[in-house]
Structure 1
C-alpha cells in the first residue's frame, strides 16, 4: 500500500496544494475560515475555487487534447472571442437585462467557439497539420478577431442575468464552480465508464495501431478539439460575466499556459496516452492557490510567473521516478555483499566425462 501510494501521480500535487494552503495559513491565520452570508459561502477558499473555475474548465478540455497526443494553444484566443461576442451582443441590444438577450448572446458565443474548434479539428485530423502549428494560427489571429469585435475598446455591460454565470451563487456555491464541477463529472463518467476513455488513450499511445485496429482516430481527434474550444468558450463567458465587461486585450491572456501547466502537474504525459482528470483539477487549484499566495504575501504580481515555474519544476521532478530514486539513493544490491549461503551438505555434482557414474546400476 505504501509503495502504491508513493507511486501515485496524485501524491505530490496533493502535497504541493497542502503546503501552499499551510503557507497561506501562516501568513493569514483566518485563511481557511468560511462564513455564511445571505445563504452563500464566502472565504479565501471559495475565492480560489471561483477564480480558478475558468482555468479548471479549460484544463479539462486541454487534458483530452493532450491525451490524444495534441496541444491547443488557441484556447486563450477563444476565451477573448467568446467574451467579446457575448458582451457586444448584450451591449447592442435594446434590453440588455432581458434573460432572452443573455441566452441569445451566450448561444452566439458558444456557437462561434464550437466553429473555431471545428476549424482546429479539421486542420489536425483531416489535413494532418501539426497541432502546435494549427492552433498557433488561431492563437495569433483570434486575439485580433476579438479586438475587431470590440473595436479595440473595453465593452461593459449591465445585466444581472449575465452576471450570474461568473459572480452568481446557487446552493450556496458560486455558479462558475458548479459549472466546472459538472463538466468534470460528465467527462469523468464518459471517459471512465464507457469505451471512450480507452479509445482516447489508444489513439494517444499509437494512432496508427489504433487505425489498423478499427478505431476511428480522426473522429476522436476531431471531437477533442471541439470540446476544448467549447470549454474555452464557456470560460470566456465566465470571465466576462465576472467583471461585466469584455477586455479583448487581457481576457484569457496566457491562460493556455496555465491550462497546460495544470495538466502536466496533474500527471498527464505530454506524449499522449494515459491521463488524469482528477490530477488536472488538482493542478488548476495549485496554480490558482499559488497566485493567491503571491498576492497575500505582498509579492509583486509580475513575479507570479516565476513562482509558477518554480512550483511546476518542483512537482514535475518529484513525479519523475529517476529523481525520486536519486533522492532515496536506492542502489541495486551488490553481488559481493550478498549473504553467504548457510552451511550444509554439498550439492551433488554431475559426473564429468571419463569418470564412472557410481549411481548407475549395471548387470
Structure 2
C-alpha cells in the first residue's frame, strides 16, 4: 500500500467521531496510569477465580449506560429524544425490588421480577411512542412528562421509601462472573449484538434513518412512521428497564430519588460522542458503545483522581466539550486553513527561487 492510499484511509478514520471517543478513553486511562502505574493491572482473585481491577470495574459500570445509550441512539435517529430513561430505570428497579421483597429467594421469583420490571418499562416506552406517533406531541414534551410521572410512579410503587430485597439469582445478574468476566457486561454486549443484528440486517434501520432524515419523503416512499416510532420508543423503554435491573441488582436496593438520576444526560452524551446527530438521520451502534465506555471511564477517573463532587460536573463538561470540539468539522477546517496559511507564508520553495533566477538572467541579457 503506497502513501497516497494510506492518507485517505487515515483521514476517513480521523473524521469518525467514534475514533476520537476511543482516543479520549485512552487519554483518560493514560492520565490514571500516570497517577498509578498499576492502574491497568488485572489480577485473578484466588478465592473465586474472578478477574479484578479498574478495567473490570469500568466494564461493569458501563453496562447500564450502554443499554440506555443504545435505545437513545435509535430514538434520536428518528429525530426525537427520550428524556424519561432515567425515570423508567427507577420504575423498573422499584417494581423488581417490591416484588422480590414479598416473594421468595428462589430463581423463579428472580425471573418473575425480571419479566415484570421489563414489562412495566416497555409499557412506559409504549406510552411515550403513542404520545409521539398518534397524539402528535413533541418528543421533548412527551418524554419530559414521562420523566416527571415515572419518578412519581416509582415513589408510589415503593411508598416513597428505599426498598431492598434478597435473591441470589437476581443479585447474580450484576455481581456474577462467567469465565472471570462480569455477567452484567456480557449481558449488555449480548443485547447490543441482538439489537444491532435486528436493526442492520433488516429494513428497520433504514426506515428509522429515513424518518429522521425526511419524514414526509419516507411516508411517500411507503414507510409508516407511526409503527416505527412506536417500536423505537418501546425498545428504548425496554432497554431502560434492563439498565434499571442492572442498577438495582448491584446492591439489591432501589433509591427512588437516585436510581437512574440524570442518566438520560449520560445517554445523550454517549450517543453524541458516538457520532449520532441530534438532528436525526444516521446513527451508529458502535459509536454508542464507545460513548458509553467513555462515560463510564470518565466517571471512574473522576473518583480515582479524588475530584470533589461539587467540581465533578465541571470536569465532565470540560472533557465532553473538548471532545466535541475535536470532532467538529468546522474546528478542524479552521486549523487546516491556518496550517495552509503558515505554509504559504513560509520559505519560498526551491523551484520558485530557480524560476526567479532564470527570469533575472533573461532581463539582464
Instruction: Give the TM-score normalised by structure 2.
Output: 0.89
Question: Within 2, Cα distance between the matches of 1:210 and 1:26?
Answer: 51
Aligned equivalent of 1:205: 213
Aligned equivalent of 1:119: 127
Contact 1:124–1:134 (CA under 8 A) maintained in structure 2: yes
- 1:92 deviates by 1.5
Question: Within 2, Cα distance between the matches of 1:124 and 1:146?
Answer: 23
Unaligned runs of 5+ in 2: 1-8, 356-365
Choose from 65, 69, 77 the match for 1:55: 65
Contact 2:77–2:208 (CA under 8 A) maintained in structure 1: yes
Contact 1:318–1:324 (CA under 8 A) maintained in structure 2: yes
Matched, 1:250 2:223: no
Contact 1:72–1:135 (CA under 8 A) maintained in structure 2: yes
Aligned equivalent of 1:360: none
Question: Within 2, Cα distance between the matches of 1:139 and 1:310?
Answer: 27
Choose from 256, 260, 282 the match for 1:274: 282
Aligned residues: CA RMSD? 1.9
1:290-326 deviations in Å (ceiling 9; x for gaps): 1111111111123221112111111111111110112
Contact 1:48–1:285 (CA under 8 A) maintained in structure 2: yes
| Number of aligned residue pairs | 337
- Listed as ranges, the matches of 1:26-65 within 5 Å are 26-37=34-45, 38-65=48-75
- 1:46 deviates by 0.5
In structure 2, the residue corresponding to 1:302 is in which secondary structure? Answer: coil
Larger helix fraction of residues: 2
Aligned equivalent of 2:360: none
Aligned equivalent of 1:68: 78
Question: Within 2, Cα distance between the matches of 1:3 and 1:118?
Answer: 42
Q: Which has the larger radius of gyration?
A: 1
Matched, 1:78 2:95: no
Aligned equivalent of 1:16: 24
- 1:209 deviates by 0.4
Contact 2:89–2:259 (CA under 8 A) maintained in structure 1: yes
Question: Within 2, Cα distance between the matches of 1:330 and 1:189?
Answer: 43
Question: Within 1, Cα distance between the matches of 2:247 and 2:83?
Answer: 18
Choose from 236, 239, 242 the match for 2:244: 236
Aligned equivalent of 1:109: 117
Pick which of 279-288 and 246-255 moved more.
279-288
Aligned equivalent of 1:135: 143
Choose from 138, 143, 147 the match for 2:155: 147
Aligned equivalent of 2:324: 316
- 1:207 deviates by 0.8
Question: Within 2, Cα distance between the matches of 1:193 and 1:262?
Answer: 23
Question: Within 2, Cα distance between the matches of 1:120 and 1:239?
Answer: 22
1:90-120 deviations in Å (ceiling 9; x for gaps): 1012x2x111111111111111111101100
- 1:5 deviates by 2.0
In structure 1, the residue corresponding to 2:17 is in which secondary structure? Answer: coil
In structure 1, the residue corresponding to 2:277 is in which secondary structure? Answer: coil
Matched, 1:98 2:100: no
Contact 1:90–1:102 (CA under 8 A) maintained in structure 2: yes
Contact 2:90–2:260 (CA under 8 A) maintained in structure 1: yes
Contact 1:61–1:227 (CA under 8 A) maintained in structure 2: yes
Instruction: Give the TM-score normalised by structure 1.
Output: 0.89
Unaligned runs of 5+ in 1: 343-363
